[in-house]
Each structure stands twice: as structure tokens, then as C-alpha cells.
């Protein structure tokens, strides 16, 4: 079958069909028909909302931006997923990302389905005032079809707690204008909010930290005893890459390389993520020492134990997969490995911890935030982490056991559990 490399959604569907082929035998009799119907249903999102958002720019001109919200499946609970602001956002991309969110929620067992939204925009081109107007316009667009029991958005690439705060505020105004009151809890409608406005302790670091919990289980399984002997290269130094680097370094792992969109910093003796962030804040660059700079291609090819793509999709492709020398790839970005590259890595014996498992710490802590918002009762940082750690470690252990039991890749093992859980819920509900 010819694969369409350019379509992220085609990639997501192809993964689903591969999993379905392995799961199908366990559904017999009437269940077989229901299983096929469920898989068929899960190929497409339930609905994809699309609009043009008009805002007034600072110079008085009007500009319009294309925006989406894809709601994939809500059998296991309300749709859940982030909103990204990026020039490469497309309908195809949000459809794929919303599908992956459905699996991600099922991986740690949190009671959500999957959704994803986005705006085609480079937020660096906007002033703060324009960014606020655009965020508010987006909140107004989704207001009729989000809510704590319907769809709960959150940050994703280039969106922040501040943006969630503006969206909560706009959503409140929308409810007051249309109903004269709040029929839905506005705080529980968005997660990833600032602490001052109903956010949760630990949410900001949760995606990166969750990946480090996964790494800790991995070390046990691989027989890697001393963190200091484990070298790590990280592509991406945004929220996810930074917190992964920091928590890994704090546990003694040797982070030897980090990169952002402009530069790759390499130091064989190990980096201090905190110092690198301070340099980046001060100078705009990861380092001012050009002798420490290597190319993006060299980063991927480093002879390290763990390679962590923590930026965007399609970082590991057919073109560069054969150059990768790491023993393990931990996918902290969503969809960083193309299906063709995945096969190359598997043939090279490189273990891949899939995105829907590795980066599930973010949405899992979003769930904790939502629970706290619904209760109006807030937990300490330690309490949040004490709930996150066992969920992430159990998910990784389950995937590992399934991989051994079924003799499939870790990605396939993770998907087997997640897709089964969604299919079984669709059958229980009688939706298929």
C-alpha cells in the first residue's frame, strides 16, 4: 500500500488499522461486527469545526486567521486536547492530533476522549494585544461546543497559561451574554491555566516530568543502573524539552545536547538545563560559545543512549532515520517519527517509546487540574506529583509487559491497550 507521507491523519488511520488487525481476533461472535464498526467510526473525528477569526490589528486593519477544533471521540469522557498556534496548523493536522489525544487519554486511563484545535498563525508576528484579541476570538468560536463535560481545551505548541486565562475570561463573558449566568464552570472548561486562575501545581512541568518517570522505568527494564552513565540528547527546548532536561539532570542523567529552532548546543560532559535557560533568556541563544554548537543533523546522529524529540511532528524521517545512533527514542513531541522512519528505527533495533505514552503526563495533570476546579479544592505540588508518578510508571510498565507478551513494538503495545479500551467503551455504550 502506498503511504501518503504528507498526511498526518493518514498516518493516524494507518496506525489504527495496524492495531485493529492485531486486536480483531479477540472479538468473536456479535462482538466482531461491533469491533469493525468501532474501528470504522474511529478512523474519522466525530466533527471538525472550522472558521475564519477576524481581529483588528494594532494598526487598525482587519486580519483573518483560519481556526479549527477537531473532536475525535468522547466514548471514555469529554473531548480533551490542546490548542496550537502555528503556521503549519491544518485541518489534516488537527484531525490527526485529536485522534492521538483519544489514545493518549486511554493510555493512563484518565476519563477523557480526544480533541485538538489550532490557529494558522505565527504568534511571533503578533503584539501582546493582538495575541489577546486572537485568543479571545478563538474562545468565542469554540464556546458553543466546549465545557467541562463536553470538550476541555488546554495549551499546546505556542500557547500558554496566559492564553488560557484570556480564553476562560472570554468564555465567561460569552456565557453571561448568552445566558445571563454561568451554566458551566468556566475554570473547569480550560486546563493549563496560571496558578492564580485555577491552575494546578505541577501542570507546567508535567509533560516533561512525566517523560522522566517513563525514563526511570525504562532504565530498570534496560538494566541501566547508574543515571550518570545514561546520555541524553534533546531536540527542542520549549516547555516540554526544558522540563524533561531539568528533571532528568536533577536525577543525575547526563543531558549532553539540547536544541531550539536556531541552535544545537552540545557538551559531552553534561549540561545544566537551568543555566542554558538563563543564557537563552539573557541572550536569545542557547550558548554564546560557538565551539559548543553542532548542526541539527549532528544532534540526531549523536552516539547517545536516549534521543528525545521534543519539538514538532516529522522530526525523524526516512531521510535521517538511518543516521540515528541512540539506543532509545523517547517521543516527547506529538508524532515526531514518520511511519517510514519508524520501520527504519525498528530494523535498527532502536526502541521507541511512543508519544501517546511518553508525553501523557501533560494531559494527565490537566485531568488533575479539572478535578480540582470541579471540587474547588486545590492540592499541593507534592500531592499532584504523587498522583502523576504512579499513573505514568504503570502505563509504561503495562506497555512493556504487553510488548513482551505480544512480541510487538512498544508503540504497537501501547496502542493495543488504548484502542481496546476505547473500542470496548463504544461497545458498552451501544454506540456501535
Tell me which residues touch ligand GLU (CB under 6 A): 80-82, 104, 154, 156, 191-192, 334, 359, 362-363, 366
**Catalytic residue of the set 80, 116, 280, 417:** 116
Q: Facing residues of 154 across strands?
A: 82
- From the list 11, 7, 4, the residue with the least C-alpha distance to 339 is 11
Q: Minimum distance from CB of 152 to ligand GLU (Å)?
A: 7
390 class by beta-carbon count within 10 Å (0-12 exposed, 13-18 middle, 19+ buried): exposed
Any alpha helices (H) in 80-160, and if so which ranges? 91-108, 128-142
- From the list 140, 100, 138, the residue with the least C-alpha distance to 117 is 138
Query: Given the complex with ligand GLU, which of 76 and 104 has the nearer CB atom?
Result: 104
Which long-range CB contacts under 8 A does 3-8 form with residues at least 24 apart? 3/339, 3/340, 5/318, 5/338, 5/339, 5/340, 7/92, 7/96, 8/92, 8/93, 8/95, 8/96, 8/97, 8/313, 8/335
Q: Minimum distance from CB of 186 to ligand GLU (Å)?
A: 16
Query: Given the complex with ligand GLU, which of 34 and 366 has the nearer CB atom?
Result: 366
Which cell is 120 given? Answer: 494558522
Q: Minimum distance from CB of 50 to ligand GLU (Å)?
A: 19
Residue facing ligand GLU at closest CB distance: 82
* 3 state DSSP class of 94: helix
Q: What are phi and psi of 29, to 5 degrees?
A: 65, -135
Q: Minimum distance from CB of 60 to ligand GLU (Å)?
A: 34
Query: Given the complex with ligand GLU, which of 109 and 427 has the nearer CB atom?
Result: 109
Query: Given the complex with ligand GLU, which of 115 and 338 has the nearer CB atom?
Result: 115
- From the list 229, 241, 248, 247, the residue with the least C-alpha distance to 265 is 241
How many angstroms separate the most distant Cα atoms in the chain? 66
Evaluate whether 123 touches 160 at the Cβ level (below 8 Å).
no
Query: Given the complex with ligand GLU, which of 87 and 284 has the nearer CB atom?
Result: 87
Query: Given the complex with ligand GLU, which of 80 and 280 has the nearer CB atom?
Result: 80
Q: Minimum distance from CB of 82 to ligand GLU (Å)?
A: 3
Q: Minimum distance from CB of 150 to ligand GLU (Å)?
A: 14
- From the list 337, 153, 335, 309, the residue with the least C-alpha distance to 244 is 309
Q: Examine the residue annotation and report whether 116 is marked as an active-site residue of this protein.
A: yes
Name the strand (E) or helix (H) holding 204: helix 203-222
Region class of 295: left (phi > 0), else alpha (psi between -120 and 50), else beta: beta
Q: Report the catalytic residues.
A: 116
Amino acid at each position: 500500500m502506498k503511504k501518503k507521507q504528507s498526511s498526518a491523519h493518514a498516518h493516524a488511520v494507518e496506525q489504527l488499522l495496524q492495531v485493529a488487525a492485531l486486536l480483531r481476533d479477540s472479538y468473536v461472535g456479535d462482538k466482531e461486527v461491533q469491533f469493525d464498526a468501532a474501528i470504522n467510526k474511529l478512523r474519522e473525528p466525530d466533527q471538525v469545526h472550522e472558521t475564519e477569526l477576524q481581529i483588528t490589528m494594532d494598526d487598525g486593519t482587519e486580519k483573518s486567521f483560519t481556526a479549527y477544533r477537531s473532536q475525535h471521540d468522547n466514548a471514555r469522557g469529554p473531548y480533551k486536547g490542546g490548542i496550537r498556534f502555528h503556521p503549519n496548523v491544518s485541518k489534516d493536522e488537527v484531525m490527526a492530533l485529536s485522534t492521538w489525544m483519544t489514545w493518549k487519554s486511554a493510555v493512563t486511563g484518565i476519563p477523557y476522549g480526544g480533541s485538538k484545535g489550532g490557529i494558522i498563525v505565527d504568534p511571533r508576528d503578533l503584539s501582546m494585544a493582538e495575541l489577546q484579541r486572537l485568543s479571545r476570538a478563538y474562545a468565542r468560536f469554540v464556546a458553543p461546543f466546549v465545557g467541562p463535560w463536553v470538550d476541555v481545551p488546554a495549551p499546546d505548541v505556542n500557547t500558554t497559561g496566559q492564553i488560557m486565562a484570556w480564553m476562560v475570561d472570554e468564555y465567561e463573558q460569552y456565557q453571561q451574554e448568552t445566558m445571563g449566568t454561568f451554566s458551566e464552570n468556566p475554570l473547569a472548561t480550560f486546563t493549563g491555566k496560571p496558578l492564580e486562575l485555577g491552575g494546578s501545581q505541577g501542570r507546567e512541568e508535567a509533560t516533561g516530568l512525566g517523560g522522566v518517570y517513563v525514563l526511570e522505568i525504562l532504565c530498570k527494564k534496560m538494566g541501566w543502573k547508574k543515571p550518570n552513565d545514561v546520555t541524553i540528547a534533546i531536540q527542542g527546548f520549549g516547555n516540554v524539552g526544558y522540563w524533561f532536561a531539568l528533571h532528568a539532570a536533577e536525577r543525575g542523567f547526563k543531558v549532553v545536547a539540547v536544541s531550539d529552532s536556531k541552535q544545537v548546543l552540545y557538551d559531552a560532559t553534561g549540561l545544566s538545563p537551568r543555566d542554558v535557560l538563563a543564557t537563552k533568556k539573557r541572550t536569545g541563544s542557547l550558548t554564546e560559545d560557538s565551539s559548543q554548537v553542532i548542526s541539527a543533523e549532528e544532534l540526531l546522529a549523536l552516539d547517545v543512549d536516549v534521543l528525545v524529540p521534543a519539538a514538532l511532528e516529522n522530526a525523524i524521517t526516512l531521510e535521517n532515520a538511518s543516521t540515528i545512533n541512540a539506543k532509545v527514542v523517547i517521543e516527547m513531541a506529538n508524532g515526531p517519527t514518520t511511519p517510514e522512519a519508524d520501520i527504519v528505527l525498528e530494523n535498527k533495533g532502536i526502541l521507541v517509546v511512543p508519544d501517546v505514552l511518553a508525553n501523557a503526563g501533560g494531559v494527565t495533570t490537566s485531568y488533575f487540574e479539572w478535578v480540582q476546579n470541579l471540587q474547588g479544592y486545590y492540592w499541593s505540588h507534592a500531592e499532584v506529583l504523587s498522583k502523576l508518578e504512579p499513573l505514568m510508571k504503570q502505563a509504561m510498565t503495562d506497555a512493556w509487559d504487553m510488548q513482551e507478551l505480544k512480541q510487538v513494538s512498544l508503540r504497537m503495545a501501547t496502542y493495543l491497550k488504548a484502542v481496546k479500551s476505547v473500542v470496548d467503551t463504544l461497545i458498552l455504550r451501544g454506540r456501535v
